[in-house]
Chain A
Amino acid sequence: GEDVEQSLFLSVREGDSSVINCTYTDSSSTYLYWYKQEPGAGLQLLTYIFSNMDMKQDQRLTVLLNKKDKHLSLRIADTQTGDSAIYFCAESTSGTYKYIFGTGTRLKVLA
């Protein structure tokens, strides 16, 4: 079945860039998402990318998609302590309701 994988932890220093990686198996994925979850809170959509795009930039966030390798990454420039959270990638297919979530990457930003 479909699977989405992420590394569990990432630690960076404040002001550095963070890169969170995600791999997926479903070649029919149409949309890929990045969500942020702060402690005790729900999921907040950060950005998404269509599968026919290679890159999307939104202020400090850059999403790169390598469709051939089924690899998605989220780069956060100038990482701040407020970026400390769990980041989930998810994929879905047009016309379906279901998201397949990754296991989440816990980002810790050191001051």
Chain B
Amino acid sequence: DAMVIQNPRYQVTQFGKPVTLSCSQTLNHNVMYWYQQKSSQAPKLLFHYYDKDFNNEADTPDNFQSRRPNTSFCFLDIRSPGLGDAAMYLCATSRDLGAGGPSNEQFFGPGTRLTVL
């Protein structure tokens, strides 16, 4: 089945120790997104890639970076995790930005829960 895969599902890191979360997709979608979701809150968009074009949200901290080496993979790098970065990180994909498309539908992965000690 075509899907969005996130590894690992659970990640523990130490305060200040860089960590990388990964996402892959078999949907061949142009757009990939990273969201941060804290407990009992809505997902918050950090950034997205349209093909190789990176788009950062204005309020995303510099501590968060992303890489997309090819269509299938996208990585979230947290350079110096703080206690406030503990959250669920969700990757999503969509076929395109909706121009001419039917729905803008985003497909989500299962998420990676990050714990910062």
Contact = CB atoms under 8 A, between A and B. Distances in A.
Interface of A: 30-31, 33, 35, 40-45, 48, 88, 92-99, 101-104
B42 interface: yes
A43 B43 contact: yes
Contacts, number: 63
Contacts of A45: 105-108
Nearest to A104: B42
18 contacts: A30-B98, A31-B103, A40-B113, A41-B110, A42-B90, A42-B109, A42-B110, A43-B90, A43-B92, A45-B105, A48-B103, A92-B98, A94-B98, A94-B104, A97-B55, A97-B94, A99-B45, A104-B40
A35 B104 CA distance: 14
B105 A94 contact: no
